[in-house]
Amino acid sequence: MSVTGSTKDPGRPSALRRLGVVGGGTVLALLAAVIVTAAADRAKLTADLSADRRFSIDPALATLVEAQTEAVTITAFWGNDYAGGLEDIETALQRIAGLSAQLRYRRIDPELQQPLKAAFETDHGAVDAPALYLTRGKRAFRINVHALLRRRLQREVGGALVALADPRPPLAVVLQGHGELRPGGGRDDGCDLALRDLELSGFQLALVDAARPGSFPADALVIVPGPTAPLGARDVADLERHLHDGGSALVLADDRAPADLTAWLRRRGVLGGAGVPQDVIERRGVAWVDDAQAKLVPNGVLRSMANHLGGQEDHLLLAGSECLNDQQEITRALAAGGRSLLLPRTAQVVAFDLAKHEAVFPGLAKRFAIAGVPPFAVARLAATRPGDAWIQAWNEVLKPQQGQTEGDAFACAVAVIYQQAQDSAQAARPDGGRLVVVGSRQAASNLVLAQRSFANSQFLSESATWLLRRSGATAIPEAETAAFQVRCTNRGLTIVGILLVLVPCIFLGVAMLAWWDRR
């Protein structure tokens, strides 16, 4: 007798359960991922996981772009032969332009769109492609196209916007002809990066030497980038007149600084450069203030065992954030951000606090007054750690001095503000001339400024803007590629092979056998 009914095996799992065993969980996970992705896309949520953050706009640049009140056009000049290699740059420029209705991006092929190129050149001069230009009315700012532009693009665009926003950009006069750092001077003697940083801070540059007509403009910043030969009577007199007229100066002076520059700094209340008067060391009188022939003791350079980079021949002084003055405008942001300065071949810089040193050198304030120097206030910008550093000649074998566990710190850079002179050319200002002296010539060299992990570039830009009483420099950093390296021994390679190859194969094999058995 046969019984009819369901032929379904009661011990066999349902189709739904079999789906769950084989891939139901995967389907649900994929569905959840699709929902989350759609929601993130609708809310415009993004995450930039690229090594150099190429798809992210720096907040400082975004703020600058959104604050634009006049139309700015970003014009790229390159053809299709360059387009493939510059695709990332073009994408980034389009993203930047999209932040504000005042910005517009366009690309002109200099070969295929010659009428557009000719029209641009009529307003802004000849174009040498490939290049980028930011234009605002009749004013233009050029950005050169080079291998590192992708890293520096946002900084360059931000600097261009700053420069274009000022119809009367400040002037920075760079003294040349006395062995200073110079454009095209290479890694050790070049200042190309320093000059570019000034341009990106909104400065107009002028390189001058002894053959220049007239004196320095009273409202200009005069930069003396580490001379190694005498300045001469004219340049010293012009520097003195410039500060007397309420002007500003940035001086780099290490142990190679010429005697006439050292004497002028001393007259302005700063001991720096190649030597220190013997009378200062022995605390005898105050005639050394304006005595150009004062007997000098070689200044040497600062050495440190705990805070330096390199070895015997390339001993580089390092001033960490704790060595920077967090109360002074120039270095406040650097100290708060934990930044460090790299100061190769640094001479100490001593600025006299008249109230403090009057007890050590009686009659000091009167002596400065006789020399025609108005009262002044000083501030340290950077110094060594107390008891950590010592002074010795540059070419001497590195040898710590005894007894350096205690003691005061050595100043590496100082800022001085003078009271306004009665016959100043800028009498309307609330104060007089301003002076920043840095004891390291090489701190502004191409070799050091190329190492953007240090704050030298920002320090120089902040010094320049403070000296001319302007707002701080645009703090847009370069993009940094996250570099990493994996080193593995033969044993390590074996373990990696097991983890990446053998173990997954075992799991896949077990899964396939289980699936076959379930069939």
304-319 pLDDT tens trace: 877 887 765 566 888 9
Bridge-based pairing of strands 131-136 and 72-77 is: antiparallel
Rounded Cα distance, 487 and 281, in Å: 54
Q: What's the rounded Cα separation, in Å, for the pair 507 and 215?
A: 82
pLDDT of 512: 77
Token pair for 172 = 């920075």
Structure tokens at 203: 């400065």
Q: Which CATH class is domain 59-161?
A: alpha beta
Round to whole Å and give the CA distance between 64 and 26.
46
Q: How far is CA 354 from CA 364, 376, 437, 501, in A?
A: 7, 8, 18, 74
Q: Which two tokens stand for residue 82?
A: 């360059």
CA distance 56 to 59: 9
**Strand pairing category for 171-175 and 221-225:** parallel
Can you give the pLDDT at residue 406? Answer: 45
Alpha helices in 166-221 (DSSP H): 186-189, 192-200
Q: How far apart are CA 103 and CA 92, in angstroms?
A: 13
Question: In angstroms, how far is the first alpha carbon of the chain from the final one?
Answer: 32
Please tell me the predicted confidence (pLDDT) of residue 380.
94
What pLDDT is recorded for position 312?
A: 55
CB 162 within 8 A of CB 64: yes
What distance in Å separates the CA atoms of residue 416 and residue 431, rounded to the nearest whole number?
11
The answer to whether the beta carbons of residues 79 and 108 sit under 8 Å apart is: no
- Strand segments, DSSP code E, in 419-496 are 434-438
Cα torsion angle, 173, 178, 180, 184, sign: positive
Token match 């010539």: residue? 441
Distance from C-alpha of 97 to C-alpha of 360, rounded to nearest angstrom: 60
Residue 378 tokens, joined: 């000083």
Q: For residue 149, give the 3-state DSSP assignment.
A: helix
Give per-residue pLDDT as tens, 393-428. 888 887 776 544 445 789 999 999 999 888 888 777
Structural class in CATH, domain 170-467: alpha beta
pLDDT of residue 405: 43
Please list the ranges in the chain whose pLDDT falls under 70: 1-29, 40-41, 43-55, 83-84, 311-315, 401-407, 472-475, 477-494, 496-501, 519
Task: Please give the Cα distance from 284 to 372 (Å, whole number).
Answer: 22
- 222: buried, middle or exposed (CB in 10 Å: 19+, 13-18, 0-12)? buried
String of DSSP letters for 26-77? HHHHHHHHHHHHHHHHHTT-----STT-TT---HHHHHHHHT--S-EEEEEE
